[in-house]
């Protein structure tokens, strides 16, 4: 009975063909402007295969390889010419190469391999990341704040997406902030501390780092408070000097006025006696 069931299944396979759809999606990451090659195991390719590459799972056909006739076609006009002069195919491996990648190339690509009555499908999820800018660090001296946090380092990055901005003290993460939206700006503060730090901007495949020695840009917080208050101290000192000068002037004026009054009284008495 079992042998008959197996024989029946084999006959059905010959009649309707074999269809294999791989549920696994291979993830591929690439930096914007670089090239990426989507390739399956070469042993899966045979001399009479028909290979089709589609943009998205059921999207438009972008490339075709006919191994039997050794012909290939690339459909540049689909998707408004998005892939114009940026696609290459390999007859031997069946691979698809995208050159000069763009952020808009981030998508699922599907390859269908057909031979006789067999069909196999594989999918690739491509993620194209923008090149990261170097984070910029500036010193800030906020007004109306306590002396402990008067000196602050601000690390910033503009027009970024899917990145994390972090302060590190050596290899230890000090603080971080992330963003997933497109073309956002990130800023992260670091209070005045007496040590060396690094600000790191990173995504899943690359990073940019800026190093800073806090003691060179801003003295330890106690001294920094004095530096930040220097202008205020000078103003108070000048005001004190002016008040002192005014006080001395008033005293001298009072003394002179008193002496003049005494002399006038003495003269009047002399005239009266005469």
Alpha-carbon distance of 44 to 218, in angstroms, equals 63
- From 107, 129, 151, the end of a domain falls on 129
Same domain, 185 and 97: no
Output the pLDDT for position 23: 66
Output the pLDDT for position 195: 78
Q: Is residue 265 situated within a structural domain?
A: no
Q: Which residue has the higher pLDDT, 182 or 230?
A: 182
Query: In the structure, what pLDDT confidence band is assigned to residue 26 with cuts at 50, 70 and 90?
Result: very high
Q: Is residue 48 situated within a structural domain?
A: yes
Residue range 161-171: average pLDDT? Answer: 91
Q: What is the DSSP letter of 260?
A: H
Q: Is residue 225 situated within a structural domain?
A: yes
How confident is the prediction for the chain on average, in pLDDT?
79
Same domain, 124 and 188: no
pLDDT in tens, 226-266: 444 444 444 555 566 666 666 766 666 667 766 666 656 65
- From 129, 162, 195, the end of a domain falls on 129
Alpha-carbon distance of 157 to 35, in angstroms, equals 26
* In 100-257, beta strands by DSSP E: 107-115, 118-129, 136-140, 152-160, 163-169, 172-179, 184-191, 196-202, 207-213
The full DSSP string for 36-87 is EEE---GGG--TT-EEEEEESTT--EEEEEETTTTEEEE-TTGGGGTTTT-E
pLDDT in tens, 188-198: 988 866 678 99
Residue range 216-220: average pLDDT? Answer: 59
- Angle, alpha carbons 242-244-245 (nearest 5°): 65
Output the pLDDT for position 66: 94
Q: Which residue has the higher pLDDT, 241 or 63?
A: 63
Q: Which residue has the tokens 């069931």?
A: 5
Q: What tokens were used for 196?
A: 């060396």
Residue 156 near residue 187 (C-beta atoms within 8 A): yes
Residue range 110-139: average pLDDT? Answer: 92
Same domain, 89 and 144: no
Count: domains in the chain? 2
Same domain, 96 and 186: no
Residues spanned by the domain of 84: 18-129
Same domain, 66 and 156: no
pLDDT in tens, 70-100: 899 999 988 999 999 999 999 889 999 999 9
Same domain, 219 and 204: yes
Q: How far is CA 225 from CA 140, 188, 233, in A?
A: 13, 21, 11
Alpha-carbon distance of 61 to 110, in angstroms, equals 9
Same domain, 149 and 167: yes
CATH of the domain at 173: 2.60.40.10
Q: Which residue has the higher pLDDT, 213 or 75?
A: 75
Parallel/antiparallel/unpaired status of strands 50-55 and 107-115? antiparallel
């Amino acid at each position: 009975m079992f042998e008959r069931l197996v024989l029946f299944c084999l006959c059905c396979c010959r009649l309707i063909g074999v269809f294999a759809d791989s549920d696994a999606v291979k993830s591929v990451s690439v930096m914007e402007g670089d090239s990426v090659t989507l390739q399956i195991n070469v042993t899966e390719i045979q001399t009479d295969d028909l290979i089709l590459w589609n943009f998205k799972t059921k999207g438009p056909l972008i490339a075709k390889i006919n191994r039997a006739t050794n012909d290939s076609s690339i459909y540049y006009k689909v998707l408004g010419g998005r892939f114009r002069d940026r696609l290459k195919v390999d007859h031997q491996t069946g691979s698809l190469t995208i050159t000069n990648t763009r952020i808009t190339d981030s998508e699922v690509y599907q390859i269908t391999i057909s031979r006789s009555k067999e069909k196999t499908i594989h999918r690739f999820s491509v993620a194209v990341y923008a090149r990261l800018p170097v984070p910029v660090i500036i010193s800030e001296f906020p007004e109306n704040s306590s002396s402990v946090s008067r000196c602050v380092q601000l690390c910033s990055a503009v027009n970024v997406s899917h990145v994390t901005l972090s302060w590190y003290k050596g290899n230890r993460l000090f603080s971080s902030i992330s963003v997933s939206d497109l073309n956002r700006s990130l800023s992260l503060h670091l209070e005045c501390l007496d040590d060396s730090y690094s600000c790191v901007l990173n995504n899943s495949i690359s990073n940019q780092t800026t190093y800073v020695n806090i003691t060179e840009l801003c003295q330890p917080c106690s001294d920094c408070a004095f530096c930040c208050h220097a202008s205020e101290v000078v103003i108070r000192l000048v005001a004190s000097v002016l008040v002192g000068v005014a006080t001395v002037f008033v005293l001298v004026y009072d003394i002179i006025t008193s002496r003049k009054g005494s002399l006038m009284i003495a003269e009047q008495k002399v005239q009266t006696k005469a």
